[in-house]
Amino acid sequence: MSPLAAKRPKGGPMAQRSRAAGGRPASGPRPGTQAPRGDLAARRARLRAVVEPVVGDAGYDLEDLNISRAGRRFVVRVVVDRDGGLDLDAVADVSRAVSAALDAAEEGGDELVAGEYQLEVSSPGVDRPLTLPRHWRRNIGRLVKVGPITGRVVGVDDAGVMLDVAGERTAVAHADLGPGRVQVEFSRADEVADDDLAEFDDEDGMEDEER
């Protein structure tokens, strides 16, 4: 498979791939209808069983995997992350590895996705809730809101998270933390480098390719 597109959406880099399922016609619900929830849940479980080991072997964490229907195609969305974050090249590498694993599984007789599908691999967006210790660790230095508290993450260990709240440090145990949300700080917009902005312009000009 060749990359359909390589562009950076809001929240992180993403790679897309398209698969024509060996020329087989798409099966399942008619275009414009939704596949039964139970069917998609079962497919998601089978996909996760194939994808998660591949992502882990590549040195990443599988943060989310979803499958939905868009017209005659399925869309398989895979969200991965690692310490230090991901760039577009890393996401493309994961996309190729996941794509190869899905092809191998189906060639072995396991029909993971009936008919055509599009694979999207991306990194988490800033709106992803912080629910695991690694999520907090990867957001040290960021302003977050958790419950009624808004503070900056200044430290994370096995016991919990250290937040700087209005100049005072507050330790919160992982067991006492609810889902945290990264807060967008518009005052930091001037920290974006000119070459980063140029990268967005270059990526917008990339052409789509199909298998």
Separation in Å, CA 61 to CA 17, 64, 134, 147 = 20, 9, 10, 26
pLDDT in tens, 196-209: 444 444 444 433 43
Q: Does domain 3-125 have CATH number 3.30.70.380?
A: no
Quick one: which H or E segment has residue 170? strand 168-173
Tell me what pLDDT residue 10 has.
36
pLDDT tier for residue 17 given thresholds of 50, 70 and 90: low
Q: Is the pLDDT of residue 28 over 60?
A: no
Residues ≥6 apart with Cβ < 8 Å to 62? 48, 51, 52, 55, 56, 78, 79, 80
Tokens 């895979």, located at residue? 78
Tell me what pLDDT residue 38 has.
52
Tell me what pLDDT residue 170 has.
93
> Contacts by 106-113 with C-beta closer than 8 Å and gap 24+?
110/46, 110/50, 112/43, 112/46, 112/47, 112/50, 113/19, 113/21, 113/43, 113/47, 113/67, 113/74, 113/76
Tell me what pLDDT residue 18 has.
59
- How far apart (Å, rounded) are the C-alpha atoms in residues 143 and 173? 18
Query: pTM higher than 0.85 for the full model?
Result: no
Mean of all residue pLDDT scores within the chain: 77
Higher pLDDT: 151 or 112? It is 151
Higher pLDDT: 109 or 89? It is 89
User: What are the structural domain ranges in the chain?
Assistant: 3-125, 133-183
Tell me what pLDDT residue 119 has.
94
Topology (CATH level 3) of domain 133-183: SH3 type barrels. (2.30.30)
pLDDT tier for residue 24 given thresholds of 50, 70 and 90: very low
| pLDDT (average), residues 5-27 | 44
Return the SS3 of 67. strand
Q: Which two tokens stand for residue 185?
A: 């700080």
| pLDDT (average), residues 14-28 | 46
- Percent of the chain having pLDDT more than 70? 70
pLDDT in tens, 62-106: 999 999 888 888 899 999 999 988 899 999 999 999 999 999 998
Tell me what pLDDT residue 195 has.
44
> Contacts by 79-86 with C-beta closer than 8 Å and gap 24+?
79/121, 79/122, 79/123, 79/124, 79/128, 80/55, 80/121, 80/122, 80/123, 81/123, 81/124, 81/134, 81/138, 83/134, 83/137, 83/138, 85/12, 85/123, 85/138, 86/12, 86/13, 86/60, 86/123
| pLDDT (average), residues 34-62 | 84
DSSP strand pairing (117-122 vs 73-81): parallel
Q: Which two tokens stand for residue 164?
A: 């700087």
Tell me what pLDDT residue 108 has.
81
Higher pLDDT: 121 or 43? It is 121
Tell me what pLDDT residue 30 has.
37
